[in-house]
Chains A and B, each alone.
Chain A
Amino acid sequence: MKNILTEMHVKALFEQYYIALVEFSWHIVKCRDTASDIVQDTFVKVLERLEELPSQEKALKSYLYSSVRNISLNHIRHQKIADGYQKSNEWNEMDETYILDAMIYAETVNNLHKAIKTLPKSCQEVCKLTYLEGKSNSEAAELCGVSINTIKTQKRRSVELLRHRLAPIFHSLKAFVLFFFG
């Protein structure tokens, strides 16, 4: 018998792919709120049609990307018409490469976001400020209201935790560090 998805499964899917899909949609619609709307609506649809969905993970992922891509493309088509643009083929020609690029963004951003989220709260904050916002140690220390040494300790701890827990992703974070502070 075919496995039918439950709401719990959908939530797990949501947690796994939401950011990826929002990022993916953003590259097409170029508006964060619209992208969130589109992806949320896609999940509403998933919840409404649990029995019609593929139960295999790979097929589901493909289904989610396709749905989000179609709704996003429809959205900008409508917008173009509404804005009085001429229906051009410009998009259709570029979309293949562009879609692929958007997917690469989506996958990488999603994975890295998850890696950072697995860190303890205090480390996350320091990670965000230093690695993501490009703040210096002293700026981060001031913003967090702690000493520079605390920031350094937290950073070291983050890196160690990431190294143990997520050895592979650590390398990319190290790449960030090298890139910005190296």
Chain B
Amino acid sequence: MIPKDEHYIRAAELVARYLEGDISDEELRELMDTVERYPSLRSWVESKDISLEKIRERLTEYQSFDLEKEWQSVLARRDTIRTPMYKKWWAIAASIIAVCLVGGALLLNNKESTNKIADTSSPQIEIVPGREIATLTLSDGSTVQLGEAGRNMVVDGNTTLDVTGDMLDYRQAKDAEAHIHKLRVPLGGTYHIQLADGTKVWLNADSELEFPASFVGNERPVKVRGEAYFEIAKDPSRPFKVEVGDTEVEALGTAFNINTHLYQGKIKTILTEGKIKVSTNGEYKVIEHGYETISGQGNITIGKADLEEALAWKDGYFYFNSKSLKEVLEDVARWYKVDVDIRPVLSDKRYVGGIKKSESIAAVCSVLSDLTSYNIALENKKLVVR
């Protein structure tokens, strides 16, 4: 350290204290000595009012300073220059392990765990990171990229929309013609939209929502594919109708999750609040909150729902409650759109836990391999269990 700097800093501290009126007698003597050494300090001390006026002018610059935001930007800068891949992979692996442990995964021990993370995390394996991204298709067929480096304003005819952060808001959109817009979220993304009536919709990865820019008439119809969580704005005079495959879900003011990311075209609707009517092929069922329906194969079955399952994905978690390894693997496969190939006979141990959905399938495999007695790896878009 250059000693001169320390002297300067000390001198500046003393002058600052003096100006603030926060100076002890001893410091005052020290300041007087310092002024002898640095004569330029004299004017600061002698015309205190002028000094404070100069300070006041500068102080106004920092009124709206948000230190936390500035710190986040330091961390972001640090992360962009810190590139070595292995560090990131280890961080990902470590974070999933932490989530699993917190989730209370009750799992077997495995002796050869250490190398597997390194093996399976080689960069050529596909990673599916979670991002707030989506594509919006307007009535004229043009598309707009949303999220991250996306834009802040969307214009379609006389409809103007503001995009705030990860959310598209149609509440201010005035459009008599009810143009049909389509929101598509790619694999590895999620997005969040508020429709013209105030209904909130969270779209999971690889999902689509088709909706009018404004609702006219006495119904509120939308179409969905993939997985979506709806919080319907209350309006008893205009039922909200979701068309999903051959199933229609009708709601007045409730919250529910629809998932078509299941095997064999099944559609699962979990009701977390209120009441809904689910109909398909002329058959219909009314369910209360806490229940779920499975439809999509010509009939509707009702069961008790695990609400956590409906809500976890929206909060960015991949969730399993007392599931066998087979079921966990099926969940994983569904999420990453791969098949499962189970070779040995699996034990029926039950697992409880959650994994961050934003992790890559490779990272998920390596955690499952480490925590079970099986070797689980991705081979040719298949989850192979040995």
In the bound complex, CA of A128 to CA of B60 (Å): 8
Number of interface residues of A (CB under 8 A): 51
Cβ of A143 within 8 Å of any chain B Cβ, yes or no, is no
The count of A-to-B residue pairs whose CB atoms sit within 8 angstroms is 134
- Name the interface residues of A31-84: CB closer than 8 Å to any CB of B: 32, 36, 40-41, 43-44, 47-48, 54, 58-59, 61-63, 65-66, 69
Q: Is the CB of A108 within 8 A of B19?
A: yes
Binds A, one of B7-15, B251-259, B353-361: B7-15
**Complex interface: chain A residues within 8 A of B262 (CB):** none
Cβ of B38 within 8 Å of any chain A Cβ, yes or no, is yes
Which of A58, A62, A109, A128 has a CB less than 8 Å from the CB of B55? A109
Q: Is the CB of A103 within 8 A of B60?
A: no
CB distance from A164 to the nearest CB of B (A): 15
In the bound complex, CA of A175 to CA of B21 (Å): 9
A133 in contact with B44 given A59-B1, A103-B9, A108-B15 (CB within 8 Å): no
Q: Is the CB of A103 within 8 A of B49?
A: no
Q: Is the CB of B8 within 8 A of A132?
A: no
Number of interface residues of B (CB under 8 A): 45
CB distance from B169 to the nearest CB of A (A): 25
Q: Is the CB of B2 within 8 A of A66?
A: yes
Q: Is the CB of B56 within 8 A of A132?
A: yes
Which of B11, B59, B74, B78 has a CB less than 8 Å from the CB of A112? B59
**Complex interface: chain A residues within 8 A of B48 (CB):** 175
Contact with A along B27-47 (1 / 0, CB 8 A): 000000000001011001000
Q: Is the CB of A107 within 8 A of B74?
A: no
**Complex interface: chain B residues within 8 A of A19 (CB):** 62, 65, 67
Q: Is the CB of A99 within 8 A of B70?
A: no
- Name the interface residues of B285-330: CB closer than 8 Å to any CB of A: none
- Name the interface residues of A126-182: CB closer than 8 Å to any CB of B: 128, 131-133, 168-172, 175-176, 179
- Name the interface residues of A1-48: CB closer than 8 Å to any CB of B: 11, 14-15, 18-19, 22-23, 26, 32, 36, 40-41, 43-44, 47-48
Q: Is the CB of B63 within 8 A of A132?
A: yes
- Name the interface residues of B44-92: CB closer than 8 Å to any CB of A: 44, 48-49, 52-56, 58-63, 65, 67, 70-71, 73-75, 77-78, 81-82
Cβ of A92 within 8 Å of any chain B Cβ, yes or no, is no
* B residues at A contact (CB < 8 Å): 1-2, 5-6, 8-9, 11-13, 15-17, 19-23, 38, 40-41, 44, 48-49, 52-56, 58-63, 65, 67, 70-71, 73-75, 77-78, 81-82
* A residues at B contact (CB < 8 Å): 11, 14-15, 18-19, 22-23, 26, 32, 36, 40-41, 43-44, 47-48, 54, 58-59, 61-63, 65-66, 69, 97, 99-101, 103-109, 111-113, 128, 131-133, 168-172, 175-176, 179
